[in-house]
Amino acid sequence: MSNRYFVRAEDVPAYHPANHTGTVNKRLIDPKLTGAKNVEIVCGTLQPGNGALPHAHPGIEQVCYILEGAAIAEVDGQRQQLGPGDCCYFPADMRHVFTAIGATPCKVLVIYSPPYEEDSSRVIR
């Protein structure tokens, strides 16, 4: 495999992630594309009122950084509205929900460690 160190979002194919509604993602950094071993970075666009249904990732930490729009994040009984420049942390194995709110799509940078790779065996509903 040849490593790529520079990634243009426009060159990456979009996909609809499992256990989400109204969401389109682009995987920017991952083991297959860049050879990353301990991190995966995804750019997601969520339509208002849509997002991640309740779930957890076994052994995988997740961070969401809001680029545009707004969202509500819920984890461990806590709920917070987030806007551009805000971020949230979902510990490994902890159920969470992430929903776009407002009138415009929410664009979010999602960081997983170790890489999630959209592997359905690595999600708990």
CATH of the domain at 46: 2.60.120.10
Domain span including residue 36: 24-117
- Measure CA of the first residue to CA of the last residue in the chain; give whole Å: 33
Does residue 55 register a pLDDT over 80?
Answer: yes
pLDDT above 90 covers a percentage of the chain that reads 86
- For residue 19, count CB atoms less than 10 angstroms from its CB and return exposed for 0-12, middle for 13-18, buried for 19 or more: middle
Q: What is the pTM of this model?
A: 0.91
> Does residue 14 form part of some domain?
no
Mean of pLDDT over the chain: 92
Q: How many domains does the chain have?
A: 1
- What's the mean pLDDT in 7-35? 93
What pLDDT band is residue 125 in, cutting at 50, 70 and 90?
Answer: low
> Does residue 4 form part of some domain?
no
> Does residue 2 form part of some domain?
no
Can you give the pLDDT at residue 4?
78
> Does residue 3 form part of some domain?
no
> Does residue 122 form part of some domain?
no
Can you give the pLDDT at residue 1?
40
